Amino acid sequence: MRRLDEDGYLLLEDFIDADLLARLRDRIEELFQIEGESAGQEFKPEPGCRRLANLVDKGDVFREVIVLPRLLEYVRYVLGPSIKLSSLHARSVNPHGAGGQPLHADMSAIADARGPWVCNTLWMLDDFTPDNGAPRVVPGSHRLGRLPAELLADPLADHPDQVHVTGRAGSVVVLNAHTWHAGTANRTDRPRTALHAFYCRRDKPQQQYQKRLLRPQVQKSLSPTLRDLLALDDPLNDQLSAAAAVRSGVLK
């Protein structure tokens, strides 16, 4: 709790057991092969990276991980008790220098009067090292109430207070997503892959409107716990998503 309060992130080493790690890796690589050039089309492309999106729709293993009680305990500490899944993606950074990002807060979100409203969890499916694209984080920046682009001359440049979050495959990073962070370049000869389970407060719109994306047969198969976490039966979520679509001009 102190680390999340002060630094804005927490590394949970060896959080994923070997069986779950293997199943996540296998299914993600299978989806990359199946989807090919269209992989990640439900969200957005990113130069130098392979992406997958809408993963709740694409396998039991993904529906398993988003409701792990020991993970949600940390998410609820950041956001409060009333949460929902905002999106579930995979991001694989290509080798040979790809993947560098500017410092940012997810969804360009600034905490409001109620406090934080976005929390990301990064599941390390490979070792994260200083050379293969481990994220950089500016500890404590979640308390500034400003976005990097507002205060920094060059958000792509190194920040004097940044740290690289490294760890073994199977570890998970819980990130108050108002904390300034960015992916770094993968300078190795192998890809580096992570799963991103992104949560938000229930009074905010999802990054991806799950009710629209999930196939009807998948929605019918879900437990009450999953339906609640995905806000499938929440009229407020429908209203928030519709309003967000109008503001952006695009449904995501």
Would the pLDDT of 78 be above 60? yes
Give per-residue pLDDT as tens, 50-66. Answer: 999 999 999 999 999 99
Would the pLDDT of 5 be above 90? yes
**Edge-to-edge strand order for the sheet containing 9-12?**
9-12, 172-176, 118-124, 192-201, 83-93, 49-52
Apex 50 CA angle, 247 and 198, nearest 5: 50
Q: What is the pLDDT of residue 155?
A: 98
Global pTM reads: 0.95
Lowest mean pLDDT among 62-71, 176-185, 236-245: 236-245
Would the pLDDT of 250 be above 60? no
Would the pLDDT of 209 be above 80? yes
Q: What is the pLDDT of residue 44?
A: 83
Q: What is the mean pLDDT of the chain?
A: 95
Cα separation of 1 and 48, whole Å? 35
The full set of domains in the chain, from first to last, is 2-248 (2.60.120.620)
